[in-house]
């Protein structure tokens, strides 16, 4: 690509590289762009559990086997496959199906994500602001193992692993293509401490109360089973563990109209205002808070203590 085109593409996609360093109080301090040392992962594979009965797993080549039901989960492509019998979820529509397309997985991070995020905000995407907000919400979970649920190509999960603030980051996604893309990025960047699995948000391959936090970026609108998935989030979070998510809602005005048109064109769902609070509370999550900008919603909730 010619240099000026590359520069333009980078401006459009936003610059994700700068991580906020921790201030003394542990809060991200703006202004400094130094990357922190990447932490040594604390055997993130120890976090896996059978998605059917949450039983413990034993290493059995070429992957893992459940102590309780003896189900086998292969681990030969760089991620553990907790959905070995299914290829793609039975979802229709352009948006949900595109996630399983190799070309789409390639252009997702640099093109598609900034495009739809900008439409929803009604302003250019600001990836650094998003990452810093997420890191700020996850301060309570520093030093613990956390999850990037529906990680896609690892847009956020890779940066969380690179931040060095967590014992390990576990990335889970349904799409093989997205996971392959994530592995490619990790290899090129030298990202460590990011363990990947193929799994369903509605049947998480993680133990009860095992994770310090769960992040789900731009994904809830694609989950077919919201109540079941949020119940899984609550089950897996340790008491007081944080759930942070970004997704999209119906909004008034021109930003709402353009988002609605965009969502209709790509068969994506928009939540109603207030709906996500009710869904989180119904799943047993507490301390719900949200921030809305156009159609984009950033929310956080916690598992009860
Ligand atoms: C729009 S991408 C978001 C990727 C990334 N988290 C981000 O912040 O850009 C949505 C991701 O959700 C995944 N996904 C959809 N349904 C899922 C499910 N039931 N369980 C797990 N992941 C799912 C898709 O495969 C896709 O990678
Ligand atoms: Zn089992």
- Count of domains for the chain: 1
Above 50 in pLDDT, residue 205?
yes
Residue with the smallest CA separation from ligand 1 atom 12 is: 150
CA of 56 to the centre of ligand 2 (A): 8
163 lines ligand 1 (CB under 6 A): no
Q: Would you report the helix, strand and coil content of the chain in percent, each value rounded to 5?
A: 35, 25, 40
Residue with the smallest CA separation from ligand 1 atom 7 is: 217
Q: Across residues 218-222, what is the average pLDDT?
A: 96
Ranges 44-48, 161-165, 249-253, 265-269: which has the least confidence:
44-48
Domain extent, residue 110, equals 91-302
Q: Across residues 44-60, what is the average pLDDT?
A: 85
The CATH number that applies at residue 274 is: 3.40.50.150
Structure confidence at residue 49 (pLDDT): 94
Lay out the sheet containing 145-149: strands in order across.
Answer: 80-81, 194-198, 168-173, 145-149, 211-217, 237-248, 296-302, 286-293
Structure confidence at residue 162 (pLDDT): 95
In ligand 1, the atom with minimum distance to the C-alpha of 112 is 1
User: What DSSP state is assigned to residue 108?
Assistant: I
Q: Is residue 16 part of a domain?
A: no
Q: Is residue 61 part of a domain?
A: no
Degrees to nearest 5, angle at CA 32 with 166 and 215: 30
pLDDT band at 19 (very low <50, low <70, confident <90, very high): low
Structure confidence at residue 20 (pLDDT): 57
| 169 vs 23, residue with greater confidence | 169
Q: Is residue 53 part of a domain?
A: no
In ligand 1, the atom with minimum distance to the C-alpha of 225 is 19
User: What DSSP state is assigned to residue 206?
Assistant: B
178 lines ligand 1 (CB under 6 A): yes
Report the alpha-carbon distance of residue 147 to residue 162 in Å, rounded.
Answer: 14
Over the stretch 234-248, which tens digit does the pLDDT of each residue have? Answer: 999 999 999 999 999
| Ligand number with the minimum distance to the CA of 71 | 2
Contact residues for 273 (Cβ-Cβ < 8 A; gap 6+): 249, 250, 251, 292
Q: Is residue 79 part of a domain?
A: no
CA of 204 to the centre of ligand 2 (A): 12
Structure confidence at residue 39 (pLDDT): 35
Q: Is residue 286 part of a domain?
A: yes
SS3 state of residue 149: strand
Q: Is residue 287 part of a domain?
A: yes
- Answer left, alpha or beta for residue 276, where phi above 0 means left and psi between -120 and 50 means alpha: alpha
CA of 59 to the centre of ligand 2 (A): 13
Q: Across residues 100-117, what is the average pLDDT?
A: 94
83 lines ligand 1 (CB under 6 A): no
177 lines ligand 1 (CB under 6 A): no
Above 90 in pLDDT, residue 29?
no
Q: What percent of the chain has pLDDT over 90?
A: 70
Over the stretch 281-302, which tens digit does the pLDDT of each residue have? Answer: 999 999 999 999 999 999 999 9
Q: What are the φ and ψ backbone dihedral angles of 143, each rounded to 5 degrees?
A: 85, -5
């Amino acid at each position: 690509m010619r240099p000026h085109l590359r520069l333009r593409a980078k401006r459009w996609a936003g610059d994700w590289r700068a991580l906020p360093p921790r201030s003394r109080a542990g809060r991200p301090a703006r202004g400094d762009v130094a990357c922190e040392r990447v932490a040594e992962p604390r055997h993130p594979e120890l976090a896996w559990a059978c998605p059917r009965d949450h039983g413990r797993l034993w290493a059995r080549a070429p992957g893992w086997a459940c102590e309780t039901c003896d189900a086998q989960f292969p681990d030969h492509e760089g991620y553990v496959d907790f959905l070995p019998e299914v290829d793609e979820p039975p979802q229709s529509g352009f948006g949900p199906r595109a996630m399983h397309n190799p070309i789409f997985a390639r252009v997702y991070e640099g093109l598609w994500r900034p495009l739809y995020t900008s439409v929803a905000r009604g302003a250019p995407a600001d990836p650094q602001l998003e990452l810093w907000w997420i890191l700020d919400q996850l301060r309570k979970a520093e030093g613990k193992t956390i999850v990037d649920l529906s990680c896609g190509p690892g847009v956020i999960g890779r940066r969380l692993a690179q931040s060095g603030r967590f014992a390990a980051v576990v990335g889970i996604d349904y799409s093989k293509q997205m996971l392959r893309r994530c592995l490619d990025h990790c290899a090129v960047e030298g990202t460590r401490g990011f363990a990947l699995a193929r799994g369903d948000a509605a049947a998480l391959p993680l133990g009860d109360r095992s994770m310090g936090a769960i992040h789900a970026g731009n994904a809830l609108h694609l989950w077919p089973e919201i109540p079941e998935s949020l119940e899984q989030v609550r089950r897996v979070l340790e008491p007081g563990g944080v759930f942070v998510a970004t997704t999209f809602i119906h909004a008034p005005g021109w930003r709402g109209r353009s988002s609605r048109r965009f969502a209709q064109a790509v068969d994506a769902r928009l939540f109603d205002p207030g709906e996500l609070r009710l869904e989180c509370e119904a799943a047993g999550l507490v301390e719900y808070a949200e921030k809305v900008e156009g159609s984009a919603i950033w929310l956080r909730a916690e598992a009860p203590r």
